[in-house]
Amino acid sequence: MQKFANNRSFGLALILAALLFGLASGPAAAGAVMEKAPADPDPAKKYFFYMHGGYVEKRGSDSTYDYHSILGALADKGFEIIGEARGLSHPGRYAKGIAEQVNGLLDKGVPAANIIVGGHSKGGFMTLLTSTMVGRDDIKYTVLAACGKKGTPYFKNYRRFINRNAEKLTGKFLVMWDENDQDAGNCDKAFDKSDTNPTNLILETGKGHQLFYQHEESWLTPVVAFINEN
């Protein structure tokens, strides 16, 4: 089950239709998985940068947080997937590298509509930072359980982002989290500082923050619908 929150909507009708009836076009041809953006991209393909949470930084991709399988599942949806199991990383510096790769794709003729940046937890936080560095309103971003709740260890960095960076948020955003997540929730305080209105989607799986540790259709389906929305 899913529910939309706070009337922060972008194309809700199309996303809801995809959730109710499935993607009628059928399965797309699988894409590739790569660690960096290609030097010679195909402008007709969609390139999805997907970043994992902090768990993988410390322990790697394993049976608990199966990042590699998530990348494979996203590629099976028809996207060219760009992602690496990074080590301990500074959010701002890593986001700068992603922004440079995004701009590289744009410079080589890939339309902005074919570029997506997303991530879970720390990866979602770096997605927000990437948006402020790219500065375009025609690129899509998926932010999954990334904005720390007050009282958690993650709120300090989120509050700093609100005060220092949030006004620069630009793009088309899907913000998603599970209703049972004790660590992360909506990013409304950040978007209130900007001129950008996200789609907020609350998932009702009860799996909390760990929902995004595995590839599951409960969150993959709305992500794919959002990306494929014109």
On average, the pLDDT of the chain sits at 92
Mean of pLDDT values over 129-151: 98
pLDDT digit string, tens, across residues 42-82: 999 999 999 999 999 999 999 999 999 999 999 999 999 99
The pLDDT value given to residue 65: 98
pLDDT at 212: 98
pLDDT digits (tens, 9 = 90+) for 90-102: 999 999 999 999 9
**Structure confidence at residue 9 (pLDDT):** 45
- Which CATH number is 2-20+43-228 given? 3.40.50.1820
Domain ranges of the chain: 2-20+43-228
Whether 161 shows a pLDDT value over 80: the answer reads: yes
Q: Is residue 205 classed exposed, middle or buried when 0-12, 13-18 and 19+ CB atoms within 10 A define those classes?
A: middle
Tens-digit pLDDT profile for residues 25-48 = 556 799 999 999 999 999 999 999
Comparing 24 with 103, the larger pLDDT belongs to: 103
Segment 179-192 mean pLDDT: 98
Task: Look at 19 and 82; give whichever has higher pLDDT.
Answer: 82
Inform me whether the pLDDT recorded for 23 exceeds 60: no
| pLDDT tens digits for range 189-209 | 999 999 999 999 999 999 999
* pLDDT at residue 230, rounded to an integer: 81
pTM above 0.85, yes or no: yes
